[in-house]
């Protein structure tokens, strides 16, 4: 089990929220986001929900791609 005691129980800073927004935009897995920010995956999910940040992958289906 991973240890996430670095920021456990602490308030999120604005830079952490912007990092969360950026990492989520790059389709980074929730566990990796939590590891980079020193938070549990559950805390990442909760904060993303509060900030209305989507953690769902933004990859498009290959059937929707335009041919160049």
Give the burial class of 59: count Cβ atoms within 10 A of its Cβ; 0-12 exposed, 13-18 middle, 19 or more buried: exposed
| pLDDT tens column, 21-50 | 999 998 899 999 999 999 999 999 999 999
Domain ranges of the chain: 14-53
pLDDT of residue 24: 93
What b/e readout covers 25-58, taking b as 16+ CB neighbours within 10 angstroms? Answer: eeebebeebbbebebbbebbbebbeeeebebeee
Give the pTM: 0.74
Which helix (H) or strand (E) element contains residue 53? none
């Amino acid at each position: 089990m991973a240890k996430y005691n670095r920021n456990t129980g602490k308030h999120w800073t604005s830079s952490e929220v912007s990092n969360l927004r950026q990492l989520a935009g790059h389709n980074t897995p929730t566990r990796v986001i939590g590891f980079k920010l020193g938070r549990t995956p559950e805390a990442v999910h909760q904060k993303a929900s509060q900030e209305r940040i989507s953690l769902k992958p933004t990859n498009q289906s290959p059937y929707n791609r335009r041919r160049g």
